[in-house]
Amino acid sequence: MLASRLERAPSPRLAPPAPPPPAAPPPPMAEARTDTPSIVATAGRTPRPAMEAAAPLSMAEKTEATDEGVVVTGARLPRSRAASRRGDWNACTVHDPMQRLSGCKHLVNPAAKGDAGIAAARLVDGLTLAWQGDWDAAVRAFDQAIALEPKRAFAYLNRGLAYQRNGELTRAAADLDLAVRHAPHAARGYYYRSLLRRQQGDIRGAEADAARAVERDPRYETVLD
């Protein structure tokens, strides 16, 4: 009977095997740094090819910039052409023997807007009248240009030269002083003032202005006696 009970007793259950340990999690991804500035390439920052680099300004270009665009071309001509060379130094002034406005378009542009255009037209009138020998009318035209553009050294220069040709040396000196004041780095004002001072008998002042002109533009040495 005992044996029968033992046969009927259920056999003990075996414990299921333990599950395998979970796989190790992958390492965390490195977060992108937000403090690193992004690089933005723009067309404006692209370096230019070497062939496009701006060339240094020549002496003539520097003279134009400081002498209100007056191109002094005397030194570019053969030395034997002294008379023509002197004419070049007088270009765009009442002393211009060629009496041409074609080379002065960068200085006198009547097509400009506003007061600049009106002043340019008066400068053209002044030069034309001076070349015709009407010095009083030329001075009045330069007066109108200066009233519109009171810091225009080119206008003071030509009005001063008109006064000088008209025999009004004191007024001429005052205007050439203003031409130098408004364009202190331009050789041309010193050159013409040196001629006027020599005419007035101020030899020391004339020599000082001649030296200043040559210092600013050595080519003036070829026309200073």
DSSP structure string for 46-113: SPPPGGGSPPPPPHHHHHHHHTTT----GGGS-TT-HHHHHHHHTTTSTT-TT--SGGGTTT--TTSS
- 11 domain-assigned: no
- 47 domain-assigned: no
- 27 domain-assigned: no
- Residue (of 119, 89, 99, 115) closest to 107 by Cα position: 119
DSSP structure string for 94-112: TT-TT--SGGGTTT--TTS
The predicted structure's pLDDT at residue 176? 98
The predicted structure's pLDDT at residue 15? 53
Domain count, the chain: 1
Q: Phi/psi zone of residue 47: left (φ > 0), alpha (ψ -120 to 50 degrees), beta?
A: beta
- 64 domain-assigned: no
- 170 domain-assigned: yes
Query: Domain with 211 in it: what CATH number?
Result: 1.25.40.10
The predicted structure's pLDDT at residue 108? 80
Amino acid at 164: Q
- 54 domain-assigned: no
Query: What whole-number distance in Å separates Cα of residue 189 and Cα of residue 208?
Result: 13
Which residues span the domain enclosing 106? 74-222
- 109 domain-assigned: yes
Mark the ranges of the chain whose per-residue pLDDT is less than 50. 1-7, 9, 12, 28-65, 68-87
